[in-house]
Amino acid sequence: MFKKILIANRGEIALRIIWACKELGIRTVAVHSDVDKDSLHVKFADEDVCIGPARNIDSYLNISRIISAAEITDADAIHPGYGFLAENAHFAEVCQDCRITFIGPGPEIIRQMGDKAMARKTMMRAGVPVIPGSEGVVPTVEEAVVLAEEIGYPVIVKAAAGGGGRGMRIARGESEVRRAYETAQREAAAAFGSGDLYMEKYIENPRHIEFQIFGDKHGNIVHMNERECSIQRRHQKLVEEAPSVALTPGLRQKMAEAALAGARMVGYVNAGTVEFLLDERRNFYFIEMNTRIQVEHPVTENIAGIDLIKEQIKVAAGEPLPYRQEDIKILGHSIECRVNAEDPVTFAPSPGTIRAFHLPGGPGIRVDTAAHAEARISPYYDSMIAKVISRGNSRAEALSRMRRAMDSFVVEGIKTNIPLQQRILADPDFERGEISTRFMERFMPAEKVEPALS
Ligand code: ADP
Ligand code: ADP
Ligand code: MG
């Protein structure tokens, strides 16, 4: 087992990883930018290294500074969390070259699945249904126009290197494809350093359903059932739950088998997520694979009774998975609400200093956060400040616990989306589980649903 792990991340996920290390008796190294020097992940780690100024490229995305920090502190492994370098194949390779274990799949797997256009092809080879769309990257806008006619409108233009819901545009006609192609290309180049785009048929009113999978270094691979993440704004998840009310045992089995077939195709190791869209006629299609731990992993932890971060560490250290597929059950129901520092109506980010802070608790409530009273929420980073996760023996119990938890979550000094989350939780369709990725449109003006095609 590792003696010391460096955590190449910040915020709630950095703390979450520290908790897992403490339980395993592993020492921790926090890295941080200068604006994060008073953060809780720095306070609770055994050691810490400042790796540079606030901007991501100067710190949390700076590979040489992170590797230097690992070498100076003699860390034997790096956990990348999610976002930042978590799906960067080059980083995983540099770790390998420096004999530091990257806690995740190897660089070849990240490369094969990280390019979303390439992942589509891999999945097709594994016999997994994908959304009708381009063979690979669509190199020019003219080709995009021709292809869109072939696929049939509406279509969605997507960044091959995309993530976090960015670099994606819907088009319902030729002029929109032209504009969609150009804006998505610009956004993708700026956000991901690659303007490569691919195209899919736009599925109307789908549900987003993803499967947690886990492989070890001994050839074992299991799935831990699904999460439903249909409550989204601008293709970014807001509320997640497990299991999904939309799946029958038969459909669950079919989707799980597809997820596993894709994972086996690349010899997947460590935690991963295979994402699908389920259309109104209950056809499912692969959309992408995330080769890392997911923001919403706690809902799976709750229904599987498995600590996914500890499992990631153990598997990276070479231990075999301690269970077989038939040992993994669905134990009750779990819901997660992402709490963001943003205006609940305009969605404008709301950085600043938290004045008062009271966390919900009580039976069945878990909160993953690095926020606290007097914490400064920086404009440089993601606006998510906490995840509230409920568990119940039924969906109704998980929902009632979540409602009362959100009613007792107090944050003063900055604006948060808690009022919006309360409206979602009170919605009759949400209560019945009648949801799709367009659910949020009822809460916002049309121009807020899709970024303007300017
Ligand atoms: P999840 O699939 O785990 O729910 P999200 O899509 O919400 O993840 O992304 C989690 C965080 O990681 C966000 O801050 C997002 O901007 C960031 N992120 C996701 N994918 C990428 C990527 N390919 N490159 C850079 N950042 C990413
Ligand atoms: P990211 O890498 O940013 O997470 P995904 O490919 O996973 O991007 O898509 C994110 C979300 O965008 C999906 O959950 C879904 O709501 C929407 N989306 C993506 N592709 C399509 C599609 N072909 N049709 C309809 N919605 C889509
Ligand atoms: Mg996704």
**Rounded distance between C-alpha atoms, residue 7 and residue 26, angstroms:** 12
Both 32 and 139 in a single domain?
no
- Residues 167, 204, 442, 429, CA torsion sign: negative
Give residue 220's domain range. Answer: 207-442
Q: State the ligand closest to the CA atom of 240.
A: 1
- The CATH number for 336's domain is 3.30.470.20
User: What is the per-residue pLDDT across 138-153, written as a single tens digit (0 to 9) for each?
Assistant: 999 999 999 999 999 9
For 410-444, how does the pLDDT look when each residue is reduced to its tens digit (9 = 90+)? 999 999 999 999 999 999 999 999 999 999 999 98
Task: Say yes or no: 318 and 437 in one domain.
Answer: yes
Ligand 1 atom closest to 165 (CA): 6
According to the model, what pLDDT value does residue 4 have?
98
One domain for residues 262 and 243: yes
In the chain, how long is the greatest CA-to-CA distance?
A: 59
Which residue in 10, 207, 252, 292 is the catalytic one?
Answer: 292
From 413, 135, 113, select the one nearest 268 (Cα to Cα): 113
Query: What does the pLDDT read at residue 26?
Result: 98
pLDDT of 450 higher than 80: no
- What pLDDT was estimated at residue 446? 62
Residue-wise pLDDT for 182-223, tens only, equals 999 999 999 998 999 999 999 999 999 999 999 999 999 999
Quote the CA–CA distance of 422 and 178 in Å, as a whole number: 39
CA 164, CA 67: separation in Å to the nearest integer? 25
Contacts of 448 (CB under 8 A, 6+ apart): 233, 347
Using DSSP, state whether 86 is helix, strand or coil. coil
Residues 6+ apart with CB under 8 A from 99: none
What's the pLDDT band for 453 if we cut at 50, 70, 90? very low
Please report, for the domain that includes residue 175, its CATH number. Answer: 3.30.1490.20
11 lines ligand 1 (CB under 6 A): no
Determine whether the shortest distance from the Cβ of 83 to ligand 1 is under 6 A: yes
Examine residue 454 and state whether it is found in any structural domain, yes or no: no
Residue nearest (by alpha carbon) to ligand 2 atom 23: 202
Per residue in 235-266, pLDDT (tens digit) is: 999 999 999 999 999 999 999 999 999 999 99
Point out the ligand nearest to the CA of residue 237.
1
Task: Give the pLDDT band of residue 454 (cuts 50, 70, 90).
Answer: very low
Residue 160 within any structural domain of the chain: yes
- Alpha-carbon distances of 251 from 126, 185, 279, 430, rounded to whole Å: 18, 36, 13, 21
Q: What is the pLDDT of residues 95-117, one digit of tens each?
A: 999 999 999 999 999 999 989 99
Structure tokens at 153: 């409108």
- Ligand 1 centroid to Cα of residue 293, in Å, is 10
Asked if residue 448 belongs to a domain, the reply is: no
What token pair was written down for 385?
Answer: 């400040």
Please count the helices (runs of H) and the strands (runs of E) in the chain: 15, 20
Domain stop point among 82, 103, 124 = 103
Who contacts 452 (Cβ-Cβ below 8 Å, separation ≥6)? none
Nearest residue (CA) to ligand 2, atom 1: 163
296 lines ligand 1 (CB under 6 A): yes
Same domain, residue pair 231 and 272:
yes
Active site residue 401: no
Residue 445 pLDDT exceeds 80: no
Query: Do residues 175 and 141 both lie within one domain?
Result: yes
- Do 295 and 421 sit in the same domain of this protein? yes
Tell whether omega for the bond before 451 is within 30 degrees of 0, i.e. cis: no
Pull the structure tokens for residue 142. Answer: 């003219």
What is the number of domains present in the chain? 3
CA of 228 to the centre of ligand 2 (A): 13
